[in-house]
Amino acid sequence: MNALVAYFSATGTTALAAKTLANAVGAPLYEIKPAVPYSSADLDWMNQRSRSSVEMKDKHSRPALADTTAPVAHCDVIFLGFPVWWYVAPTIVNTFLEAYDFTGKTIVLYATSGGSGLGKSADGLSISAPGAKIVDGRLLNGHFSEAELKAWVDGLHLG
């Protein structure tokens, strides 16, 4: 399996899960970075005018990426991680998917969340990756060992 572990992390929580997963599967790690980093004020979900609130209310919002250098071309499987915002993936994850051709690839979702599951993340992302197979993965809250994550990935039978 030629895999890539890609992730967006606004506060560092998802980054920790991504690093452990990348080590567990022996895959390179790629951080999805916004062109304009998110500040604490941007992430204030209680403020209806905060950047994240405004973006998440607009299904067509596509925050700009800092780069489009993810090595996806030769990968069969992309593990795609993000924090759950408003029961779905942040719209920057759609931006990432729309920046590349994922036709024929399998995208396995994983996420971190303060209180909800993956919600309708797969549905919200499938429109941005036509031709890809998107698999609802799991929440990676807390501390997982590399062995636990390897067992989870092996159980997906990705090849």
Is residue 159 in some structural domain?
no
Task: Name the nearest CA neighbour of 58 among 25, 31, 88.
Answer: 88
Is residue 76 in some structural domain?
yes
- Model pLDDT, residue 127: 95
Task: Name the nearest CA neighbour of 106 among 75, 144, 143.
Answer: 75
- Model pLDDT, residue 116: 78
Q: What's 149's domain CATH number?
A: 3.40.50.360
- Model pLDDT, residue 38: 95
Is residue 86 in some structural domain?
yes
Is residue 25 in some structural domain?
yes
pLDDT tens profile 49-106: 999 999 989 989 999 999 999 999 999 999 999 999 888 899 999 999 999 999 999 9
- Model pLDDT, residue 32: 98
Domain count, the chain: 1
Structural domain boundaries, residue 107:
3-153
Q: How far is CA 85 from CA 67, 116, 135, in A?
A: 22, 9, 19
Is residue 158 in some structural domain?
no
- Model pLDDT, residue 153: 97
Is residue 123 in some structural domain?
yes
pLDDT tens profile 105-156: 999 999 999 877 787 888 889 999 999 999 989 999 988 999 999 999 999 9
- Model pLDDT, residue 45: 85
Q: How far is CA 108 from CA 6, 39, 57, 121, in A?
A: 10, 28, 25, 11
Task: Name the nearest CA neighbour of 96 among 140, 63, 52.
Answer: 63
| 17 vs 144: CA distance, rounded Å | 8
pTM across the whole model: 0.94
- Model pLDDT, residue 66: 98
- Model pLDDT, residue 87: 83
* Average pLDDT estimate for 4-12: 96
pLDDT tens profile 14-45: 999 999 999 999 999 999 999 999 999 999 98
